[in-house]
Amino acid sequence: MIELIWIDIKRMWFGALVIVVLTAGVVCFGLFITLQERALQESSARAAERFDLLIGAAGSETQLVLSVVYLHSAPLPLLDGKYYSDILNNPAVLWAAPIAFGDYYLNLPIIGTNAVFITNNNQSQLEKGRIFSSGFEAVAGAGAGLFIGQKFTPLHGSLGEFDTHLHEEIKYEVVGIAPRYNNAWDRAVFVPIESVWETHDLEHGSAQKKEHADFKNMPPISAVIVKPKSISDAYELRRIYKQGLTQAVFPAEILTKLYTMLGDISGILSKISLSAQSLAIFIITAVSMLYLKLKQRQIALLRAMGADFYRIFFLVWSGFMLLLFTGAIIGGALGILGAKFISSELSLSQGFEFEVFVKLQDFNSIIIFFAALSAVLLISCALSYRYCAADILRKNF
- How does pLDDT run across 272-312, given as a tens digit for each residue? 777 777 777 787 777 777 766 666 666 666 666 666 666 76
What does R_g of the chain's alpha carbons equal in angstroms? Answer: 32
Compute the mean pLDDT over every residue in the chain, rounded to the nearest whole number: 78
Considering the entire predicted model, what is its pTM?
0.69
What pLDDT sits at residue 202? 62
Q: Is the pLDDT of residue 183 over 50?
A: yes
What pLDDT sits at residue 239? 92
CA distance 135 to 109: 18
| Maximum average pLDDT range among 7-21, 33-47, 100-114, 211-225 | 100-114
Encoded amino acid at 213, one letter:
A
What pLDDT sits at residue 6? 39
**Residue 207's closest CA among 276, 196, 199, 389?**
196
* pLDDT band with cut points at 50, 70 and 90 for residue 392: very low
Question: Residue 186 in contact with residue 144, Cβ under 8 Å?
Answer: yes
Q: Is the pLDDT of residue 226 over 90?
A: yes
Question: Worst-scoring range by mean pLDDT, 58-72, 139-153, 257-271?
Answer: 257-271
Give how far Cα 317 sits from Cα of 15, 314, 374, Å.
15, 5, 9
More confident residue, 293 or 360: 360
Question: Residue 9 in contact with residue 312, Cβ under 8 Å?
Answer: no
Question: Worst-scoring range by mean pLDDT, 16-20, 118-122, 342-346, 388-392?
Answer: 388-392
More confident residue, 371 or 248: 248
CA distance 44 to 82: 32
- For the beta carbon of residue 347, count every other beta carbon within 10 angstroms: 15
Q: Is the pLDDT of residue 224 over 90?
A: yes
What pLDDT sits at residue 265? 63
* 149 contact partners, CB below 8 Å, separation of at least 6: 173, 174
* pLDDT band with cut points at 50, 70 and 90 for residue 235: very high
Residue 314 per-residue DSSP state: H
What does the pLDDT average to over 73-89?
A: 86
What pLDDT sits at residue 7? 42
What pLDDT sits at residue 255? 79
**pLDDT over 70 percentage in the chain:** 76
